[in-house]
Amino acid sequence: MAPTAPLESTPKVDREGKELTSCPHCSFTSFKPYNVAAHVKSVHCKIRDFSCDLCDFKASKKWNLRSHMKNVHEKLMEFNCKLCDFRSSEREGLVKHYSDQHSKMK
């Protein structure tokens, strides 16, 4: 004899007793909170992660990634002319600049 428990407004739970988590924005539900978090992020948050191609850096805003690139990576491969404010990302560019602009000096 198994009396049925009165149906209260109990939260839905799975076999392991985990509560069902629901998306605050739509009817999506999951027993795994991280699934809901991932759902919210992919469906409701239009902000995409910008990730750096050169390292593990991630930014939520594009300008953050840009400033990261500039501060961390571009510096390493930037060649500055010591005689003017010319800059080049390639060594050859700076060498050419030197010979074009500054080699006339004797």
Q: Which residues bind Zn ion (CB under 5 A)?
A: 23, 25-26, 28, 52, 54-55, 57, 81, 83-84, 86
In the complex, the smallest distance separating the C-beta of residue 6 from Zn ion, rounded to whole angstroms, is 31
In the complex, the smallest distance separating the C-beta of residue 43 from Zn ion, rounded to whole angstroms, is 5
Measured from the CB atom, the residue of 15 and 82 that comes closer to Zn ion is 82
* 91 phi, psi to nearest 5 deg: -60, -40
Is the separation of the CB atoms in 68 and 52 below 8 Å? yes
Measured from the CB atom, the residue of 13 and 54 that comes closer to Zn ion is 54
Which residues have C-beta within 8 Å of that of residue 91, sequence separation ≥ 6? 79
- The whole-angstrom separation of Cα 100 and Cα 89 is 17
Measured from the CB atom, the residue of 77 and 83 that comes closer to Zn ion is 83
Is the separation of the CB atoms in 65 and 59 below 8 Å? yes
In the complex, the smallest distance separating the C-beta of residue 10 from Zn ion, rounded to whole angstroms, is 23
